[in-house]
Chain A
């Protein structure tokens, strides 16, 4: 007999998400991941000053706001024909590194650890499921690290503020790189903080994730999904030093190939949207919300690359850069996040060493009279993030955003492909359908950010309502 399980809300994520799963003979046979929040950033951006997009788009998300400022700045630079200096790139990427560190540490300890570790003493951290396997001393050690980690991710945000003014929602990232200058004092401040964070990652975060993996080995076999991987490239294309992490690449059954942005499309067959076409290029059109649409079940649209769903994020990057070979699963994904934190710390150290103190990379920027368009495709904490902008009469005419969580938590499409995370849940054995710990563990391994995934919508037009008299 089959059983329907609904988890709503899926807590310990950013934003609001519901999961509906059908279990038959204790195995998952159908899945729907649902985004439950709509704000409509793309509609809000139309008509604003293009410069404001850098600060405005950050408000899509409180945990990965700097990512949007980076993508938005890149889109503006592309549209205005501005090539940031190498120092500008280094400075902006250092801010981006701070966000990766803040995010990965918070996601692992505050969002993931409570799934595997029983943290005593506070009702907030108590849960109903009973599948806690760690021996007491280890359990208590990682519990202590839960609280210790709060200081380290706070320190990462403090580093971000040293160059970015404040966090979340920084002021520093802008066209050309960043707004302020890195003085010698600031560089040393960052280096000192980074040393503390790197030590925590090496001595606590990475050992903790491998200890958890030891006691939950079946998660190396669960939550795999399609195995298609994609990155827009991260910390790459530096003129003098080349690529520090990974170039734009995709991986499918056919192997690793260069990424080609022409292959990106969005589909809305199963999302609460309508548009003249249900498949379109990101710079082509924006769909309108329709909460009553038949068969739709989420605010998350379905980006596809060459027609296929892809996984994005730390595991995709580590595999595509050749630095991780173990496999694709919920546990590999969680381990990859910790390993990537270490990688990012070393990239940040390299970039800090390249800084020339007091370099001012800002100019007085002007908007062109003619129509221009641009795109900013960057890989950020959760994966591939794209911003597309069109500027007309010196105002934003069109703005499209495809976030990493839209890739990972997409709805299904008309070709029968489920979303990446949906596919990852298919076939999962559910031990106790009353307290299905497996579902949350697998979904959280993707680090869902539903504030980002459901930011969406529509320039210019109000949805028509018909009054029946």
Chain B
């Protein structure tokens, strides 16, 4: 079980991300860690991951841009606009930087279905930007389901011909943070690890073990109901949601212990099945999300 991490339950909520970011802060303060540039690129997606990132606390966004990294580009947040914004993106190429990408890469019409800006009078496609910035980045983070494997942007029949970031940067090492959206701790904790120690340990799919090593099912508080065969028949029930289509048995994240939005709740705590949003293949491989029919008693067939 080398590289297999099962963190102590009560510690997982805030401890890992907080410990790593505190370390990064100390390292930057005493000069042993350099404050790196971060380019945050939004491509073909819903920008839900940067909104989720703003939901992070300890560290929060202010801390991230003040004490951890120089955020040099973000379509959602930067004050500059137009070609002057793209100029900042181009200038980033001259220095060392970490690249974070959310959204899929749209290949249709050579990328013209997702234009992210204008550079020297010509449209800059998400496809061009991903390749250009990915080639020179010191570290690459694929943030959220669309960047890691296409996600909802690539859902059947995939009209924009979207793919995950790795498909257009096949030879690059990248850390994959699936989730729809990503949990802010997964992003900020990974970023802190890179700043302090370099890339974190990952599984064979590129996911950091510290967040993605354990099945939801193995730590689900409703596991005793599963073991005794007591299943929910509708949303809102307090028993095991397996027969409504819960994807906890195949999804590897720490949602049961970490929970969401300041650790107040999570989908199963909301009496709904996990829809496997952090699993490769989401959404198509995880659909249907809700299926009352699995509790059906089949007669005379």
Contact = CB atoms under 8 A, between A and B. Distances in A.
A35 to B, nearest CB: 10
Contact of B65 (A122, A127, A168, A451): A122
B115 to A, nearest CB: 4
Interface in B28-74: 42, 44-52, 54-57, 60-62, 65-66, 70-72, 74
How would you classify the secondary structure of chain B's contact residues: helix, strand, loop or mixed?
Answer: loop
B66 to A, nearest CB: 7
Contact of B71 (A15, A18, A124, A150): A124
A48 B287 contact: yes
Nearest to B112: A291
A52 B114 contact: no
Interface string B101-121: 000001011001111111001
A158 B72 contact: no
A164 B270 contact: yes
Contact of B79 (A47, A119, A157, A166): A119
Given A49-B289, A62-B47, A362-B234, A160 B261 contact: yes
B292 A360 contact: no
Contacts of B275: 55, 171
A151 B60 contact: yes
Contacts of B269: 165, 180
A51 interface: yes
Contact of A59 (B72, B180, B290): B180
B289 A39 contact: no
A354 interface: no
B70 A123 contact: yes
Interface string A146-186: 01001101100110111111111111101000011100000
Nearest to B268: A165
A171 B270 contact: yes
A382 to B, nearest CB: 14
Interface residues of B, number: 84
A38 interface: yes
A65 B55 CA distance: 15
A256 interface: no
Interface stretch (A4-12, A216-224, A385-393): A4-12
B201 interface: no
Interface in A98-114: 106, 110, 114
Given A62-B49, A169-B48, A8 B117 contact: yes
Interface stretch (A194-202, A236-244, A363-371, A420-428): A363-371
B85 to A, nearest CB: 5
Nearest to A8: B118
Contacts of A47: 156
Contacts of A165: 260, 265-267, 269-270, 272
Interface residues of A, number: 84
A172 B272 contact: yes
B289 A52 contact: yes
A457 interface: yes
B78 A154 contact: no
A457 B159 contact: yes
A168 B144 CA distance: 12
A172 B42 CA distance: 27
A18 B70 CA distance: 26
**By CB atoms of chain A within 10 A, which of B50, B112, B290 has the most?**
B290
B113 A291 contact: yes
Contact of A38 (B48, B83, B114, B180): B114
A85 interface: no
Contacts of B61: 150
B162 interface: yes
B264 A161 contact: yes
Interface in A1-59: 6-16, 18, 36-40, 43-44, 47-49, 51-52, 55-56, 59
**By CB atoms of chain A within 10 A, which of B47, B77, B261 has the most?**
B261
A362 B43 CA distance: 37
Contacts of A115: 79
B81 A127 contact: yes
Contacts of B80: 11, 126-128
A429 interface: no
A87 to B, nearest CB: 12
Contacts of B261: 154, 157-158, 160-161, 166-167
Contacts of B271: 179-181, 362
B270 A180 contact: yes
Contacts of A362: 234-237, 271
Interface string B121-157: 1010000000000000000000000000001110111
B12 interface: no
B78 A11 contact: yes
Given A65-B46, A181-B236, A150 B62 contact: yes
A78 to B, nearest CB: 18
B288 interface: yes
Nearest to B51: A62
B78 A172 contact: no
A61 B264 contact: no
Contact of B113 (A6, A15, A38): A38
B79 A114 contact: yes
**By CB atoms of chain B within 10 A, which of A62, A123, A127, A458 has the most?**
A62
A43 B267 contact: no
B233 interface: yes
Given A165-B265, A180-B236, A7 B115 contact: no
A419 B157 CA distance: 31
Contact of B265 (A10, A61, A162): A162
Contacts of B8: none
Contacts of A181: 236, 271
B232 to A, nearest CB: 10
B83 A14 contact: no
Given A49-B291, A65-B46, A161-B264, A11 B85 contact: yes
A52 B287 contact: yes
A51 B153 CA distance: 19
Contacts of B57: 151, 154
25 contacts: A7-B82, A8-B118, A8-B123, A9-B75, A9-B116, A11-B80, A38-B159, A44-B155, A49-B291, A51-B289, A59-B152, A62-B181, A122-B65, A124-B79, A126-B80, A151-B60, A158-B55, A158-B261, A164-B265, A165-B267, A166-B267, A167-B260, A170-B270, A171-B272, A458-B159
Given A38-B113, A62-B48, A180-B270, 16 more contacts: A6-B121, A8-B82, A8-B83, A9-B116, A15-B47, A36-B115, A37-B44, A43-B157, A61-B47, A122-B66, A165-B267, A168-B181, A169-B181, A174-B272, A180-B272, A457-B159
Interface of B: 42, 44-52, 54-57, 60-62, 65-66, 70-72, 74-86, 106, 108-109, 112-118, 121, 123, 151-153, 155-160, 162, 180-181, 233-237, 260-262, 264-267, 269-272, 275, 277, 283, 287-292
